[in-house]
Amino acid sequence: MENLVYLLLTVVFVIIIFFAVVRMGNETGIYEKIYAKQIAFSIDKARPGMKLEIYLGSAYSVAKKNGFEGQIVHIDHNTNKVTVNLIKGKGYRYYYFSERNVIWDIKNKRLILEIKKKSK
């Protein structure tokens, strides 16, 4: 019985490692991390009233290569979280620190951010 449990845990661990390596091996994870951090850092550096545009052409290319057609970027100003998904799954999450309301939209492969003061 102990051997069976050990074998099952080993198989589950190997499968998890395999999918992590496959995901990182095709550079999808790297692109998710780069875009999430770039967007979060841009929000942190921006002042209220600023409007920013970030071109997401490479992100769309990677997502298309992976067969992903969902929402590539999601910004939650309640939790200060930026999530970038370029393949089906959780994606990469990165938090920004500034207290801002971020109004965002994606048009023509461009992420448009409008930074506003956070209302209390």
Domain count, the chain: 1
* Average pLDDT rounded to a whole number, residues 19-43: 84
- Domain limits for position 48: 2-117
- Give the model confidence (pLDDT) of 75-116 as tens digits: 998 899 999 999 888 889 999 998 888 999 999 999 999 999
Q: What percent of the chain shows pLDDT beyond 90?
A: 56
Q: 64, 77, 44, 75: which is closest to 109 by C-alpha?
A: 64
Please tell me the predicted confidence (pLDDT) of residue 66. Answer: 86
Average pLDDT over the chain, rounded to an integer: 89
- What's the pLDDT band for 4 if we cut at 50, 70, 90? confident
Res 25 pLDDT > 70: no
Backbone φ, ψ for residue 110 (5° rounding): -120, 130
Res 19 pLDDT > 90: no
pTM for the model: 0.77
Separation between Cα atoms, residue 103 and residue 76, nearest integer Å: 10
